[in-house]
Amino acid sequence: MNKTTTETLWNKALAFHGHECPGLAIGVKACEAAAQKLGIGVSDDEEIVCVTENDACGVDAVQAIFSCTIGKGNLIYRGTGKQAFSFFNRADGRKLRVCLKPNKNSDMDRSEWQEYLLSAPVDEVFSFSEPAYDMPEKARRFETIVCEICGEGAPEHKMRLENGKKVCADCFTGYTRGW
């Protein structure tokens, strides 16, 4: 993508996120890479799915640029802590994992790092591979079950059975034996 395209994506993500930072730049460049390599764009529904391995600023870029959101079911958090994003295109089944390469320029300050991220070619910034897992299923609807302890409702797949009662995750006391 050219500099004008990067600037357009940056401005869109910045308006959503609220401030400039290198983390947002990582997300913008990850989206730019996915758009280049998979030919994807804004997701009106669940056509594009992103599995993010972090909960940092770059995820806001994915939301702003591709319209992937937790509410629509096409933004899924997989907490490895890595600056990695897996993109899936439901239309053609293509998928791509985009992972930030280790920073070899650790002498840069935050603003220099941000500028580098925004101006460097995506192949210099990221490594690319195929995700090790299949495309996530489409979002499903579940029946709401009322917790027999607190009286609050939760979807059936999040409920537990404890002492013969249907209980939510907050009321469940769990059982572990040390491991």
- Please give the model's pTM, rounded to 2 decimal places: 0.86
CATH annotation of 3-129: 3.30.1330.130
Average pLDDT over residues 12-23: 97
What pLDDT is stored for residue 179 in this prediction? 65
Residue 174: pLDDT band (50, 70, 90) is: confident
- pLDDT of residue 1 exceeding 60, the answer is no
Q: What distance in Å separates the CA atoms of residue 34 and residue 47, rounded to the nearest whole number?
A: 14
For the segment(s) 141-179, the CATH number from 3.30.60.20, 3.50.4.10, 3.40.50.740, 3.30.1330.90 is: 3.30.60.20
CA 24 to chain CA mean position, Å: 12
